[in-house]
């Protein structure tokens, strides 16, 4: 567990502080802007949903469709999700060793590390494809991915934060846009003809299942699990 507990990259305090407080500062500015831009009820709902997004078990596949259903514009959802993902990625990438020393938070991160390590054992293609595999993992919300998991995987694979952060950034943008426009299209179809919307959802689910089966077979052949 030495590799997982003590990551190789320990930046100077100035870099840690600049990156961490910089991202949290941007996130705070975004929240203040939301307060000024949205009606009070929508602001409270939006902040609550963004906060829920950071909770274990909630992800893009659940939060984004809900926000689109409540009428939040896609670009606002995009900015919020990407800001949160980048803040979490910076927090983990630049402060992992320090966060482990905080009693409760350290235990939570160790849990994530153990879960992520098990994930790498179950999905060797992530390691096999290196940066490309990490981007695919970050982009695909149904794999249970998150900015925290992606950042930890990057640390376990000895990928520098300057590579991890762009992966999280672009993966978050692609995943959020896919979910937002997909949800918007299905919602619009529902108002035109509910049957079409149900059919679209069924088609998407069927497509995901087929892609998953194909991907499992491909990766099992290309990257067999080690005994």
Q: How many CB atoms lie within 10 A of CB 11?
A: 15
Give me the pLDDT at residue 215, please: 66
Q: Output the six-digit token pair for 8.
A: 């190789």
The residue whose two tokens read 């500015």 is: 29
**Contact between 84 and 53 (Cβ < 8 Å):** yes
**70 has pLDDT over 90:** yes
Domain regions of the chain by residue span: 2-222
Cβ–Cβ < 8 Å for 150, 138: yes
Q: Which residue has the higher pLDDT, 151 or 1?
A: 151
What does the pLDDT look like over 29-63, one tens digit per residue? 999 999 999 999 999 999 999 999 887 667 788 89
- The backbone torsions φ and ψ at residue 53, rounded to the nearest 5 degrees and listed phi first, read -60, -30
Q: Label residue 2 by pLDDT band (50, 70, 90).
A: very low
Instruction: Check pLDDT > 70 for residue 155.
Output: yes
Whole-Å CA distances, 117 to 1, 70, 192, 213 = 10, 37, 46, 23
Q: What's the chain's length in residues? A: 227
Average pLDDT over residues 88-101: 85
């Amino acid at each position: 567990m030495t590799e997982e507990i003590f990551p190789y990259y320990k930046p100077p305090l100035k870099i840690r502080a600049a990156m961490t407080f910089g991202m949290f500062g941007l996130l705070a500015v975004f929240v203040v802007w939301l307060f000024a831009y949205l009606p009070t009820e929508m602001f409270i709902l939006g902040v609550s949903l963004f906060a829920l997004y950071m909770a274990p078990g909630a992800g893009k596949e659940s939060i984004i469709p809900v926000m689109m259903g409540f009428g939040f514009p896609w670009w606002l959802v995009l900015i919020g999700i990407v800001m949160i993902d980048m803040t979490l990625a910076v927090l983990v990438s630049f402060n992992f060793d320090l966060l482990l020393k905080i009693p409760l938070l350290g235990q939570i991160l160790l849990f994530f590390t153990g879960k992520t390590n098990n994930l790498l054992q179950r999905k060797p293609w992530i390691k096999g494809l290196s940066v490309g595999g990490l981007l695919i993992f970050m982009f695909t919300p149904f794999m249970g991915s998150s900015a925290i998991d992606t950042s930890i995987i990057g640390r376990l694979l000895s990928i520098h934060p300057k590579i991890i952060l762009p992966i999280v950034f672009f993966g978050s943008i692609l995943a959020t846009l896919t979910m937002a426009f997909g949800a918007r299209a299905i919602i619009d179809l529902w108002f035109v003809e509910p049957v079409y919307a149900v059919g679209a959802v069924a088609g998407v689910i069927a497509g995901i299942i087929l892609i998953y089966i194909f991907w499992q077979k491909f990766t099992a052949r290309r990257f067999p699990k080690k005994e």
